[in-house]
Amino acid sequence: MRRDIFQAIADPTRRAIITLIALQAMTPNAIADNFNITRQAISKHLRILTECEIVKQEQQGREIYYSLEIKKMKEIDKWLEQFRKIWETRFNQLDNLLKTNKK
């Protein structure tokens, strides 16, 4: 079964991993140091994120570094954009209603 990007970000640990590697590439051990779970659990989360193409692996010597795949994150942003427009419209309507009631 192929996982999709939304299944990958549904888990809070995976979202935390994404946040960690958004600024710099990290090794699995460096990532695991930030969590109170086993190294195997971190590896499983990284595998899912890699399968969904949210993170990419890069071999540097004997180490593997994981970094964020920005193109894939744009897919999430594109999907959220439809809701962002709805929220902005509703907030503007609420703002107008509050201004009218204040007068």
Per-domain boundaries in the chain? 5-102
Is residue 62 predicted with pLDDT exceeding 70?
A: yes
Write b or e for each residue in 62-78: b if 16 or more Cβ atoms lie within 10 A of its Cβ, otherwise e: eeebbebbeebeebeee
What pLDDT shows up at residue 13? 97
Question: Residue 52: helix, strand or coil by DSSP?
Answer: coil
Q: DSSP readout, 54-76? A: SEEEEEETTEEEEEE-HHHHHHH
The secondary structure of residue 13, as a DSSP letter, is: H
What pLDDT shows up at residue 2? 66
For residue range 71-90, list pLDDT tens digits in order: 888 888 888 898 988 888 88
Q: What is the CATH code of the structural domain delimited by 5-102?
A: 1.10.10.10
Q: How many CB atoms lie within 10 A of CB 20?
A: 17
pLDDT, the chain, mean: 91
pTM to 2 decimal places: 0.78
For residue range 38-52, list pLDDT tens digits in order: 999 999 999 999 999
